[in-house]
Each structure stands twice: as C-alpha cells, then as structure tokens.
Amino acid sequence: MSCVILLAADHPMPLFDPELRRTYKLSVEGEEVVMETPGFSVEEHVYYREAVDSLSLEMKPWQYELNLEAREDEADLLRDYLKRHCTACEQVELWNLWVGDDREEKIPCYHGRLSELDQDVLDQLCNPPTKNGCPGQCRIVVTI
C-alpha cells in the first residue's frame, strides 16, 4: 500500500516546484544527523495515476500530486498557489488516498474556504485517523 496526496481541479493547473527543501535533525546512535527532503510542490500525477484510476472515485478530472506536509509555511504556499491559479468561488479537491487492497472504501469529505486552509487543515489532510484498522483517507473540498 502507498499513500498519495492529490490536488484535483476542473481545469489544468500549472506545475509548481520552487525547489524548496525540508530539513530535519535526527539523533542516530547518539549523533545528530541533518536530513534533507524535497519541499512543497505540485507535480504531474503520473506514478500513482493507474492505481488511483482503478479506485473509481468521483474526482475532478485534472489531478496533480502534492508534495505537502502539515506545516504553516506549506499552507501559505498552497493558499498562494490556489489564489493565483483559481477564480473566486471555484472549488478544488485535496485528497489523501491509499492505493492498494487493504483500505477503507468510504472516504470522509470535508468542506472549507481557502481562507481557512492552515496547518490544522493540512494536518487533517496529511494525517487522517485510521478507521477499522485501515489507513486514514480523506477528501477536502476547498472553495476559493
């Protein structure tokens, strides 16, 4: 099983990679190690596309993979991206999906306005609770 976080829209959206990096300090065998990973981006939905399509979910047609963590700076980047590329009153969907056999079939759906999109909302998206022993999933409909 694998997790994918998606942005789905009714029209094409531009790809976005500001080449930001996330850094983490870890203690490994008593020594501090700095890890670096890619930061926020909006990428083509390619790698998990076939697996997501096989789920047969009602999803907006233009889908993009989000590299996203529940952080206030990433909520700011996502809000700015959506403000620039969407129109007022338009709706986009944010999805956290598990692809594979052992997943809950019903996906909770939440609604909110772009102005409410903050670290707490991203935490709800990125870390939904498990249900019936299956990894958590969710859909958040954001009104611009």
Model pLDDT for residues 76-87, shown as the tens digit of each residue: 999 999 999 999
CB-hemisphere CA count at 13 Å for 134? Answer: 17
Expressed in percent and rounded to 5, the helix, strand and coil fractions of the chain are: 20, 40, 40
**C-beta separation of 62 from 13 below 8 A:** yes
- At residue 64, the pLDDT reads 98
**C-beta separation of 46 from 29 below 8 A:** no
Which positions ≥6 away from 59 have C-beta within 8 Å? 6, 8, 52, 93, 95
**Which residues of the chain have a pLDDT value below 70?**
101-104
